[in-house]
Amino acid sequence: LQTLHTKTPPFSKDEQERLEGGLGLSGAHVSLLLDTITFFFETAVYNHFNVKTFTANLQSIQLSPSHCEVLARAWQAKAAEVLEKFRNRSLYTNVLTKVDWQLDVQLSQNTLGRVKLPTALFDLTVASGPEETKHVSMEFT
């Protein structure tokens, strides 16, 4: 559950090999098991399940009571933390963090009488990582 909000695998290759030996499953079966458990928890996050609803959904797919209990205890212990991490995660790689703007209006010019020429300047700050920002400037007339 600690890495659910990221797309990194929950176990290293060495840990996954130890799981294969400990569970007596092939690598493909361990990967399938981990993907299935990840799907259960991602569904709980998406639907914002409480423990009771999460357990009921696991029982509805005829998962054994002992497995339901283990997954429900894990969800109960980490649900608030996982939901908060998902709330703070951005779905996009670039995030607009700041907008500065300025509006200028030219009302006259020495060669022309009355002129109404608005100019808008925008300076956008875009973050593409925790410490990586870009400035984008635009001018509209």
**Residue 4 contacts residue 38 (beta carbons within 8 Å):** yes
Tens digit of each residue's pLDDT (9 = 90 or more) over 31-58: 888 888 888 888 888 888 888 998 998 8
Tell me the sheet residues that pair with 139: 121
Q: Give the C-alpha separation, 14 to 16, whole Å.
A: 5
CA distances 21 to 17, 29, 35, 52, Å, are: 6, 12, 18, 33
Confidence of residue 1 (pLDDT cuts 50, 70, 90): low
Query: Quick one: pLDDT at residue 36?
Result: 87
pTM greater than the 0.85 cutoff: no
Q: Of the candidates 122, 129, 124, 137, which has an alpha carbon nearest to the alpha carbon of residue 94?
A: 129
Q: Give the C-alpha separation, 12 to 138, whole Å.
A: 46
Query: Quick one: pLDDT at residue 101?
Result: 95
Show the tokens assigned to 123. 């300076």
Average pLDDT of the residues of the chain:
84
Query: Quick one: pLDDT at residue 99?
Result: 95
- Quick one: the chain helix, strand, coil %, rounded to 5? 45, 25, 30
The alpha-carbon radius of gyration of the chain (Å, integer) is 26
**Residue 68 contacts residue 58 (beta carbons within 8 Å):** yes
Query: Quick one: pLDDT at residue 113?
Result: 67
